[in-house]
Structure 1
Amino acid sequence: MKTVYLLHDTWNHYCKADWIAAHFPIDSFVIIKRTRPWWGKYLFLRVRRLGLLKVLDEVLFRVYWLSCNGLRDHILTRNLMKKLESDLPKNYKRPQSYRIYDINSREAETLLTNLAPDVCLLTIHRILEERILSIPKLGMLVFHPGITPEYRGPHSAFWATLNNEFWGIGWSLLRAEKGIDTGGVLGQASAANVDPLRQSHIFMQHQSHVEGLPHVVQILRELEIGEKPFVSGEGRVSTNYTHPGITDYFRLRRLLKRLRVDHHASQAQV
């Protein structure tokens, strides 16, 4: 089964992709430079779609988080990725890599058509156009750091924590469709080694991905021998979340404060 891994040109993406390639035969990496439009255009389009107050709310949270927690997230994530790197075989050699700017470009379409993959594994943010989606016969498989369909969209761990639904912190492997994190789910699980009362949503999503890596390898092996892994979505509620804002974060802080008090009280009774 010819398998191509699509990833962004980001250090933590390489760590996860290398781990997968060391445990399953990945034919090539396609590295995508573009993650979103130029920031000015991106914000302008979001204001038109969501309104100025909502976008301002999001920007304030992003500025606050990067200023106050960005370094801590980076250090914790770097340590987590080092553990992945230490698990690579000494003779591991990265698959042949191709670089493109935009996954929806004609350049990308030509490249993927020439590579002729049976399946593509993705850890990218962009919504794919139909002419790209249809290239691999077994589909484009999105490795999403969250439980779908309940927690589609970005920052699933944030929203699952805010909703006090810690089971929503996890990973899903789903077949990409036109929407955001829609499509049939091939496998998923809640993260076992996270602590929502102490860890950030950023770190928990990376931890969820790391826990899901061996399961993704197993699903690829099942596809290779003709099996059709599937997780039923019957009776489940599909929700697409967006980027959190500073007001959402204030709500999260109040919830976590209450949960920590309850946790300490229960510990004291033991």
Structure 2
Amino acid sequence: MKIAVFARPGASTAVLLNWLIREGYTDLYVILETAPRRLKQIRQRVRRLGFRRALGQAMFMAVLMPILRWESATRRSELRTHYGLDETMPRLPRVLHIDTINDAVVVDKLRSTAVDVILVNGTSIIRAPVLATTKAPIINTHVGITPDYRGVHGGYWAMWNNEPEKFGTTLHLVDEGIDTGNILAQVTARPDRHDNIASYPLLQQAKALELLKGFLDKIARGEKLSVSSETSGKGTQWFHPTLLQYACARLRGVR
């Protein structure tokens, strides 16, 4: 079975690729999208969220996240060992590096390369010209329960809202929205007291891979995927917390 992976470089992409190889899915075609420059991201957030909130988010990412990664290092190591996850980027023969996943070259590659499924991990929004190029299912692993927790840090915001039952991951088909595609399956998890916002995504991804295996096996057998829930695109899109938001929530035990 030929699998295309649309992703950005990073630990979660390495985890996905190594897991696919370990499970025997070695016929991979990987397209890696360059992450936007930090300054460009900040400008986009200022336009969308306002200067004060964008500044608070930037301070959280620059000041607190390195500390939180250090704080959760042991826990993340435990998760990698327990679930057999590898964050080292594997060497693959077919990797295409591009500036945007919506580049015309992606359309050309999809037309010339018959793939059975496309897995998405952390790219920008995939636009209609790319989506319309293939009949293969396009599956995103979203670390949040949709539609309530679209966007980023879905697990953290579920805990922030005192909804631990919605700490989980969604496998969904991709449309032009942000985590709005029809849902294939969802799985919940229970973080422990050593987890924090820096380790939540690894736990959520580990749980999602257990689900993904079943869907890939179905595709390999030529079976059609069925959705468990059709979404309306409603719900809430979440962003990075600000430094003040995180600090205040930490005082009430939300890590």
Please give the range of the TM-score, normalised by the shorter of the 2 chains.
0.7 to 0.9
Gapped regions of structure 1 (runs ≥ 5)? 88-92, 261-270
TM-score by length of 1: 0.81
2:227 to 227, 230, 249: 230
**1:90 is matched with which residue?**
none
Alignment of 1:17 with 2:3, yes or no, is: no
1:117-170 Cα deviation digits (max 9, x unpaired): 132011123111111122331331101111111111001111011011112221
1:71-105 Cα deviation digits (max 9, x unpaired): 23455434533555579xxxxx9764312123221
**1:111 is matched with which residue?**
109
Count of aligned pairs: 250
Alignment of 1:41 with 2:40, yes or no, is: yes
Select between 72-81 and 7-16 the one with higher mean Cα deviation.
72-81
2:206 alignment partner AA: V
Alignment of structure 1 residues 51-70 onto 2, 5 Å: 51-70=50-69
Q: Distance in 2 between matches of 1:81 and 1:16?
A: 12
**1:81 is matched with which residue?**
80
Q: Distance in 1 between matches of 2:25 and 2:203?
A: 23
Structure 1 residue 16: Cα displacement: 2.4
2:210 to 208, 211, 214: 214
1:201-247 Cα deviation digits (max 9, x unpaired): 22122111112212101012223432323222579962211121123
2:240 alignment partner AA: H
Contact 1:118–1:139 (8 Å) recurs in 2: yes
RMSD: 2.7
Structure 1 residue 33: Cα displacement: 4.2
SS in 1 for 2:169: strand
Alignment of 1:50 with 2:39, yes or no, is: no
**1:251 is matched with which residue?**
248
Q: Distance in 1 between matches of 2:241 and 2:95?
A: 33
Alignment of structure 1 residues 115-134 onto 2, 5 Å: 115-134=113-132
Select between 232-241 and 54-63 the one with higher mean Cα deviation.
232-241
2:200 to 204, 221, 246: 204
Which structure carries more helix by proportion? 1
Q: Which is greater in Rg?
A: 1
1:232 alignment partner AA: S
Select between 113-122 and 233-242 the one with higher mean Cα deviation.
233-242
SS in 2 for 1:171: strand
Identity over aligned pairs, percent: 25
**1:143 is matched with which residue?**
141
2:236 to 234, 239, 259: 239
Gapped regions of structure 2 (runs ≥ 5)? none
